[in-house]
């Protein structure tokens, strides 16, 4: 019996040591994981397209314009649309200019371009219009200038969105910019 007791006692001591070491490592591991999770900060790179668009929105002078864009962002594109179930580019410009600036624009982008007083790209201000020709010589798309080279428009593929006017895809087809205010 004494040999059984001493071996049982040794076994229990070893088991207790393993349990203690296991507990120590488990507590250490959990502490590291929880600490890492708590200090993790999600950051958008300051030079990313999304952060620049967010900066353009944050730098708007008009809170009413900010709210309008925020309410319409993500609304899908629908040719001829004039509500939040779908809107086209000229309809979006039409609604924005009417609600924010009290200006009654024509309904079609080509007519809006004729209505706007020509303005150089460098002189654009918040609320000015930018016109594009994706399909030839005639104006077939319109957006509203914000600031720092950003504009808001109803994209045929992405709906209402804030975009970078300096992208080559837009610079190649930009045909006019102007003011209606």
Predicted pLDDT at 42: 46
Among residues of the chain, what percentage have pLDDT more than 90? 68
Q: What is the chain's Cα-based Rg?
A: 30
Active site includes 117?
Answer: no
Active site includes 85?
Answer: no
13/107: higher pLDDT: 107
Q: What does the alpha-carbon distance between residue 162 and residue 137 come to, in Å, rounded to a whole number?
A: 25
* Residues 6 or more apart whose Cβ sits within 8 Å of residue 17: none
Contact in structure between 151 and 145 (CB atoms under 8 Å):
yes
Q: Are residues 27 and 94 in the same domain?
A: no
Q: Are residues 10 and 80 in the same domain?
A: no
Q: What does the alpha-carbon distance between residue 162 and residue 178 come to, in Å, rounded to a whole number?
A: 18
**Closest residue by Cα to residue 117 from 137, 99, 100, 103:** 103
State the average pLDDT over residues 176-181: 93
Selecting among 53, 112, 141, 161, the annotated active-site residue is 141
Active site includes 153?
Answer: yes
Q: What does the alpha-carbon distance between residue 61 and residue 146 come to, in Å, rounded to a whole number?
A: 9
Q: Are residues 157 and 70 in the same domain?
A: yes
The answer, yes or no, to whether residue 162 has pLDDT greater than 60, is: yes
Number of domains in the chain: 2
State pLDDT tens for residues 49-104: 788 889 999 999 999 999 999 999 999 999 999 999 999 999 999 999 999 999 99
Q: What does the alpha-carbon distance between residue 80 and residue 171 come to, in Å, rounded to a whole number?
A: 25
Tell me the CATH number at 160: 3.90.1720.10
* Mean pLDDT, rounded, of the chain: 84
Q: Are residues 133 and 113 in the same domain?
A: yes
Q: Are residues 94 and 13 in the same domain?
A: no
Q: Are residues 19 and 101 in the same domain?
A: no
pTM for the full predicted model: 0.74
Q: Are residues 71 and 35 in the same domain?
A: no
Predicted pLDDT at 40: 43
Q: What does the alpha-carbon distance between residue 103 and residue 143 come to, in Å, rounded to a whole number?
A: 15
Work out the number of other CB atoms within 10 angstroms of the CB of residue 140.
19
| DSSP state letter for 76 | P
Q: Are residues 22 and 111 in the same domain?
A: no
Q: Are residues 54 and 32 in the same domain?
A: no
Selecting among 53, 130, 131, 153, the annotated active-site residue is 153
Q: What does the alpha-carbon distance between residue 64 and residue 70 come to, in Å, rounded to a whole number?
A: 10
Q: Which domain holds residue 38?
A: 1-42
Q: Are residues 85 and 100 in the same domain?
A: yes
Q: Are residues 114 and 59 in the same domain?
A: yes
Q: Are residues 64 and 116 in the same domain?
A: yes
């Amino acid at each position: 019996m004494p040999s059984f007791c001493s071996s049982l006692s040794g076994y229990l001591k070893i088991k207790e040591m393993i349990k203690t070491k296991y507990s120590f490592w488990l507590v250490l591991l959990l502490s590291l994981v929880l600490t890492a999770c708590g200090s993790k900060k999600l950051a958008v790179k300051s030079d990313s397209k999304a952060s620049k668009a967010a900066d353009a929105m944050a730098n708007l002078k008009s809170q009413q314009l900010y709210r309008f864009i925020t309410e319409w962002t993500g609304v899908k594109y629908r040719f001829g649309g004039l509500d939040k179930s779908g809107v086209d580019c000229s309809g979006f410009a039409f609604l924005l200019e009417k609600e924010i600036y009290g200006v009654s624009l024509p309904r079609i982008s080509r007519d809006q371009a004729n209505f706007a007083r020509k303005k150089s790209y460098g002189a654009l201000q918040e609320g000015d219009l930018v016109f594009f020709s994706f399909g030839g010589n005639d104006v077939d798309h319109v957006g509203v200038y914000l600031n720092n080279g950003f504009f808001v428009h109803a994209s045929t593929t992405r709906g209402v969105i804030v975009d970078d006017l300096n992208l080559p895809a837009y610079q190649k087809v930009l045909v006019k910019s102007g003011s209606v205010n």
